[in-house]
Structure 1
Amino acid sequence: MKDKIIKLSVVALAVSAVCSASPALAQQQQAEEAPEDIERIVTLGSRVNGRTATESASPVDIISSEQLAETGASELGKAIQMSAPSFNFSSTTISDGSDIIRPATLRGLGPDQVLVLVNGKRRHQQALVNVQETIGKGSAGYDINAIPITAVERVEILRDGAAAQYGSDAIAGVINITLKSSDGGSVNAEIGQTYEGDGEVNQVGLNLGTTSDKGHFNVTLEYRDRGMTNRAAPATLEATGGQLIGDWWDRNGDPVVRLHVGDADSENYYAWFNSAYTLSSTTELYAFGGISSRDGGSAGFFRGRGHPRTIETLYPDGFLPQLKTEADDQSLAVGVRGDLPNAWLWDASIVYGKNEFGFNSANSANVSWYYEPAPGGGIYAETPTEAFDGELVFDQTTFNLDFNGTVDLNNELLYLALGVEFRTDGYEINAGDPVSWAYGRTNDPSVTILTPSGDPAEAGIQGFPGFSPGQEVDATRDSYGAYVDAEYYVTPDWLLAGALRYEDYDIAGDNISGKISTRYDITSDFSVRGTLATGFRAPGVQQIYYSQVLTNIVNGTLVQTGTVSNDDDVARQFGINRLEEETSESASIGIIKRWRNGLDLTVDLYQINIDDRIVISEPLTADVGAEFAAILENNNLGAAQFFTNSVDTKTQGLDIIASYPTEVLSGDLVLTTALSFVNTDVEQVNSVSSLISAEQIFNDTQVLRIEEGQPSEKASIMADWERDRWSVNVAFNYFGAVEGQAFTGIKHKWDGKWLTDLSVGYDLTDDFKVVVGANNLFDTYPDEWGSAGVPFSQAGFKYGWETLPFGINGGYYYVKAKYSF
């Protein structure tokens, strides 16, 4: 520990020795630039003020609010997916909380291997852990849709390893979301629905801003209601004689739709603000943040007649459990920044964020509660059909002190940035109602509870059994770090940049990461750039403390199954070590070419090697081995799964982006093409326990999901045309093939598909615009699952279950209106 303190002290002393300054000068310089130049100035990847995207040593995408709106998407995550091929936002269904908070990834890596910033400040992660068979299983990433699209001025995506600059999580890159700060305001509204007549969207947003020589204040209010969609097919189930969990056919023996397969219902409320106030000629106070609240509704798996899970006096025709979720998010950043002598800048800030995810079951039942013997004889014959299942809470407090400026070295400027960061992460699991998790009212396993068929009654409410008091946790973890970041023009045409960062985490230990980037302008129109970097990702407190242990029946005996907390001594009994950080090495090389006719082209090739990736194992049973089975029995466990540092991967990719402005039909036309090719290989699976083999702890199904679960190819070809009051946007988006074998064990490939989006806008006045459009104009769906999905394809999963990059909704049409003032 003494060595760690010495390392940190060295950098901290360097920081304290620097005289620094504020962003006031940078803001003034940007205000003097033309509007189109302001949009190209980046705040990500470089701490040098006023640098444009084409001058950066690393690839940075800039997506304006207008470009986000032109996608036709009403959710921020979906709009980014349609604008940046390196970004993926997979659709999920019947996947518990992941139906509401979708996994967001960059460059084919995991949801927690990309860092998200808001106004350049670290944003907190989500409380939800993805534990179902979805992209990013075992991770807890960022809730992108907790930020209203109405509040966003632009999105910057740094497609380069940046842990040395920004800290843990930035292995794949960084996404910075900049909030609006302009004067004036707007009111926008949207109505739309799918071609099938469901998935109705009703959205209204209000943005108001005021600016003066003292600062600015901008506020956003947004409401969005998104209806559920259902693409389930009738349940035929010929191969099982109409039996899966009970009888799924109707009483006439005919197949009927029993499942809800599609988007969850979601009702969303947002209130966000962004502000700054000049305290003196050299100091500025700023604050931003907001709250969001989302109520979601999705479904579980159908329980049919004649099965011990179905209480036929309550549900004579079977029942479909409903999951009602509540995702509440809040954040607040407050800081002071200003000028110091010699044109240095300083910035001190504290950011607090909290994400709460509550689970509620409805249209369900606790079988053991219903059939529990009553004291006076007989059974209670009563069970609640809805319950609060529990809540996950993640909160984060981050303090930053940053300095940046220049140092004169032999009449050449060295751009320098220094800083320190202190952060506290907290995680809670709060128990649900007793009926959501208990075995009968007393939760006494010695009591025999039988269904009318003579089968043992299962515990907990069905669909999503709740968290019990034994799983409750309230834990925190502290970390601190320091960094130095420098850029220097060795010659007028050769930029050299480097960064070094030290971080220390309670539990996970310390890490030093570094980055070297360079850019050389061969001519004024042609440049090359490249990066070598090391990175890391500390295990999330969600991964350290998450557990969900269910009471199930195995061979007629009540046992517990589920996820064992990595912090639990039981995990040590199985030989599961405490989680350590993931480490990475990355390299990239790229070119930038500009033509005088306005054509711009960037090509970037990269490779990212990650060791000790944190994954969640499959549920492991007594089949693992005799010693493993004995430990299960001693702990009354029927099966257990664990978070482990078990996987080494190699990711290689190529990003190509081109844009070309021209004139067509007396109007301005901008053509943009973006291509992303990525391939991830699992190089090695390592078992951290002598009791469990590598193949058992991370099987072929999970390996396939990492390697082929996300599209290896994505492409966007977009055309934006404007003339007088008219505007037309056409986009062709390609999602490459994906593969999976979860649930069935049968490997299956879904071919790549092109989707076409079209919108036409007209300015009724200078301030009022109407847009009519359609996303997925030609109503394209994924390939049907077919016989490879039996019995689930016969249960109603027509298009698959596990990995669906563009969803299964088909076409969507809408009308939007925007009034600006």
Structure 2
Amino acid sequence: MFRLFATTSAFALLATAAGGAQAQETAQLEEVVVVGSRATARLVTDSPAPVDVISAETLAAQGFDDINRALAFIAPSFNFPRGATGPSAANTRAASLRGLAPDQVLVLVDGKRWHASSVINFNNVFGRGSVPTDLGAIPMSAVARIEILRDGAAAQYGSDAIAGVINIVMRSDRGGRATVQAGRTEEGDGGTVTASLGYGFTLGERGRLNLSAEVRSRNSTNRAAIDSRYGRVTTQQGDPDSLDVGLAANGEYDLGGAVTLYGDVVYDRRRSISPAQYRAPTVAPAIYPQGFVPHIRLDLDDAGGAVGLRGAWRGWSWDLSDAPGYSHARFAVRDTTNTSLGTASPTRFDGGGARYVQNVLDFTASRPLRLGAGGNLALGVEHRWEGFKIISGEPNSYTGAGAQGFPGFNPPTPVDADRGAVAAFVDGELKPVESVTLAAAARYEHYGDFGDATSGKISALWRPVPVLAVRGTISTGFRAPSLQQRFFSTVTSQSSGGILVNIGTFAVDDPVSRALGASPLKPEKSHNLSAGLVVTPAAGFSFTADVFRIRIEDRIALSETLSGAAVTAVLKAAGVTNASQARFFTNAADTTTRGYELTANWRGRLGANGRFDVTAGHTQTDTDLDRLRANLVLPSLPLLGVAAIDLMADALPRTKTTLTARADWRAWSAGVNLARFGSFRAVQVASEQVFGPITTIDLTLDYAVNSRLKVGLSVLNLSDAYPDKIADRALTQGGGIQYPEVGGVGTNGREYVLRLSSRF
């Protein structure tokens, strides 16, 4: 922390000396945001709550080909642990803000609520039991900028905004663009190719349309070690094979009479192949005498968008929109067998799937207030409908022991659930004097399945002198239990103490869950406090420091995996023959997360032919377990054990420091990213382990051949850094699984990326 303050102080002195020369540049470089307020767009440094803005140019310059990876190394409060084993962990790679769960962050696209994934994360990695929004389904080439509001905002935007809000703003520029990017790892695997094409044009004199298409192909990586039992590599640990085809469009058209028609749509088709854990030769010797690794193929269709009208009437600005969302996942298993069927077993199975649908109908009206130095008042109503369905696999996939690696979906009771929710809100801002901004919001929501929720927020910003502002917020929030968490049910093969077993995940109101201690889910409730400083000592330089405290009651989590004689008796009584252990969702914990965030940015000119941009950030979070509810039905079985608590509170780096610097000089651009991820803790196989800090460095170099063509090279993870190895890895597939699947850095090591981009 001292080093960061020293660095930012040095930046401040240099910025003050260069202030006069950069004054004109600052007018062009100041960042304007819309998230966090329904008033007119404003500067980041005038926001009562901390907001990060990442431009499309910054995202593209990193060398990564997806939003999650790019943000993980440039946004200090954003973490993206890269779980790989199993289809849910590999394809719902959960992102986190302020150390909280993936589904405690609300995602907006052009200010409209985006839908969650149909794939729930039920593997033993960070985000276990969460239902995240799939940022990987949004083509990065279609993004103009990303705004990250680091503050509770449920009173403004509704459920899920406990940790903050990520608003993805789509491109609206004119002209054509094309990019081809290819790369691979130092080990020679993980080959990637990404190609994108986009074009923005006008529709006569009254409208515009922007179209984007993107294809991302990634080959698998494997960092598994030799299996000591057989003297060869038997398993796989790394990224899966995947192919994404994404399309995006957004535009608007002036209908006249102060009314504008607008809309956007995003579609992604993903196919990925993920490995399950290795099965020994004794599992199916007649079919796989050398043992085998089952592979799970996921076909995922993800689509969303919005269409609306906005206009003005008697001093009011109004916006009426409808935003549908759709996520449909289908699973198939190959290179496997169902041991209950003997040698007659197929080696490929249809495992079924899951579908989630959302529709949000929203109306908002706002008008400026002519009080004091100005203000704004906004009112709105919203209706949200959601549906969730589980599609059973073919009978052979779940009969008896089920398909090894991924027994097909076969819920005891068919799952086809839906619910509706209505909301009303008021959101106001007032500047009694030019140096003070006051804001307040209140929101009421009614859900058809669990009842009412009310949240509120008060914010203030005071600028006593032009170079200093003090800000703070107090808010309450909530997160409604998702339909996936209420009704999800499946059987999976996972490691328990180093032994592969079939584990049943049962719906909360299933008789098995009730007999093991489950109770109806309640919404999570949060209380957020934050305060901070904004310092702008010279043109082109800013420094912010914020502290926060987030208390969450009734956190929803996937319970501990329960086993033993009592569990066996309950499963037997229910007629469950393909699972020996069980789990369910529960409101078992209350937690408090405390932390602070520091950011500094300095940007300006390098003579007449260049410019530079340097951003530094540091964050520290600490989550404490305040209360753990007992299992009232089976007191000897905890609802959450050490492993589940660690995944909730300690599986992410406690600290994170980032430094991003970029310089443009004539035809050349060079950049460096440094990210240091602090230590974290997790149970690995049989014991709890603390994993040490890890530092990565990324280098990029671009050359503009002419005004239309640019070539670039990136070296990612230059130091070839890896997480600490698992201490008790002898129990992980004969020592084959070497690295944890939590923390902040994956296991691919050094990567090389070459890209070619063009404007036309």
TM-score (norm. length: structure 2): 0.92
Aligned to 1:233: 225
CA 474–35 in structure 1, closer or farther in 2 if over 3 Å, else same: farther
Counterpart of 1:365, as a letter, is T
**1:805 equivalenced with 2:744 (yes/no):** yes
Task: Indicate conservation of the 8 Å contact 2:369/2:430, yes or no.
Answer: no
Counterpart of 2:375, as a letter, is L
Instruction: Out of 429-438 and 159-168, give the one that drifted further.
Output: 429-438
CA 759–34 in structure 1, closer or farther in 2 if over 3 Å, else same: closer
The SS at the match of 2:123 is coil
Task: Indicate conservation of the 8 Å contact 2:26/2:540, yes or no.
Answer: no
**1:115 equivalenced with 2:106 (yes/no):** yes
Distance 1:160 1:326 in 2: 35
Counterpart of 1:750, as a letter, is F
Distance 2:461 2:583 in 1: 47
Aligned to 1:297: 273
Pairwise CA distance, 1:533: 0.4
For residue 212 of structure 2, the aligned residue among 195, 209, 220 is 220
Pairwise CA distance, 1:35: 10
Counterpart of 2:709, as a letter, is F
Pairwise CA distance, 1:412: 5.0
Q: Tell me the number of residue pairs that the alignment of Structure 1 and Structure 2 aligns.
A: 727
Task: Indicate conservation of the 8 Å contact 1:95/1:133, yes or no.
Answer: no
Distance 1:605 1:97 in 2: 34
Aligned to 1:355: 327
Distance 1:387 1:346 in 2: 51
How do 1:402-441 and structure 2 match up within 5 A?
402-409=364-371, 412-439=373-400
Distance 1:95 1:550 in 2: 10
User: Larger radius of gyration, structure 1 or 2?
Assistant: 1
Aligned to 1:325: 298
Aligned to 1:195: 186
Task: Indicate conservation of the 8 Å contact 2:141/2:214, yes or no.
Answer: yes
Task: Indicate conservation of the 8 Å contact 2:103/2:130, yes or no.
Answer: yes
Counterpart of 1:635, as a letter, is A
Aligned to 2:447: 505
Aligned to 1:162: 153
**1:761 equivalenced with 2:699 (yes/no):** no
Task: Indicate conservation of the 8 Å contact 1:63/1:154, yes or no.
Answer: yes
Aligned to 1:532: 474
**1:69 equivalenced with 2:49 (yes/no):** no
The SS at the match of 1:91 is coil
Unaligned runs of 5+ in 2: 1-23
For residue 668 of structure 1, the aligned residue among 589, 608, 611 is 611
**1:276 equivalenced with 2:216 (yes/no):** no
The SS at the match of 2:538 is coil
Pairwise CA distance, 1:569: 4.4
Aligned to 1:366: 338
How do 1:575-654 and structure 2 match up within 5 A?
575-623=517-565, 631-637=570-576, 638-654=580-596
Distance 2:381 2:737 in 1: 51
Aligned to 2:84: 93
Task: Indicate conservation of the 8 Å contact 1:322/1:362, yes or no.
Answer: yes
Unaligned runs of 5+ in 1: 1-32, 237-241, 243-248, 250-254, 371-380, 440-458
Counterpart of 1:40, as a letter, is E
Task: Indicate conservation of the 8 Å contact 1:648/1:683, yes or no.
Answer: yes
Task: Indicate conservation of the 8 Å contact 1:682/1:706, yes or no.
Answer: no
Counterpart of 1:366, as a letter, is N
Distance 1:590 1:551 in 2: 47
Task: Indicate conservation of the 8 Å contact 1:233/1:257, yes or no.
Answer: yes
Counterpart of 2:276, as a letter, is G
How do 1:726-741 and structure 2 match up within 5 A?
726-741=668-683
Counterpart of 1:809, as a letter, is N
Counterpart of 2:451, as a letter, is G
Task: Indicate conservation of the 8 Å contact 2:405/2:492, yes or no.
Answer: no
Distance 2:743 2:467 in 1: 40
Aligned to 2:410: 468
Distance 1:575 1:705 in 2: 21
User: Deviations along 1:602-661, whole A, 9 cap, x unmatched?
Assistant: 1111010000000111222345x5xx7654443235433111111100001111110112
Pairwise CA distance, 1:790: 2.9
**1:176 equivalenced with 2:167 (yes/no):** yes
Counterpart of 2:650, as a letter, is E
Aligned to 2:652: 710
Distance 2:547 2:502 in 1: 48
User: Deviations along 1:9-31, whole A, 9 cap, x unmatched?
Assistant: xxxxxxxxxxxxxxxxxxxxxxx
Distance 1:711 1:424 in 2: 36
Distance 1:758 1:551 in 2: 40
Pairwise CA distance, 1:799: 2.1
Distance 1:36 1:332 in 2: 33
Task: Indicate conservation of the 8 Å contact 1:53/1:60, yes or no.
Answer: yes
Pairwise CA distance, 1:469: 6.0
Pairwise CA distance, 1:470: 3.4
For residue 340 of structure 1, the aligned residue among 313, 331, 336 is 313
Task: Indicate conservation of the 8 Å contact 2:404/2:493, yes or no.
Answer: no
Distance 2:98 2:531 in 1: 15
Aligned to 1:785: 726
Aligned to 1:443: none
Distance 2:746 2:605 in 1: 36
How do 1:443-482 and structure 2 match up within 5 A?
459-468=401-410, 470-482=412-424
CA 705–97 in structure 1, closer or farther in 2 if over 3 Å, else same: closer
Aligned to 1:814: 753
Counterpart of 2:418, as a letter, is T
Aligned to 2:712: 771
Aligned to 2:11: none
CA 742–66 in structure 1, closer or farther in 2 if over 3 Å, else same: same
Pairwise CA distance, 1:140: 0.6
Task: Indicate conservation of the 8 Å contact 1:111/1:139, yes or no.
Answer: yes
Pairwise CA distance, 1:224: 0.9
**1:724 equivalenced with 2:685 (yes/no):** no
Task: Indicate conservation of the 8 Å contact 2:374/2:432, yes or no.
Answer: no
Distance 1:43 1:692 in 2: 50
Distance 2:447 2:114 in 1: 18
Instruction: Out of 70-79 and 468-477, give the one that drifted further.
Output: 468-477
Distance 1:592 1:103 in 2: 30
Pairwise CA distance, 1:575: 4.4
Superposition RMSD on alpha carbons, in Å?
2.1
**1:141 equivalenced with 2:141 (yes/no):** no
Aligned-residue sequence identity (percent) comes to 36
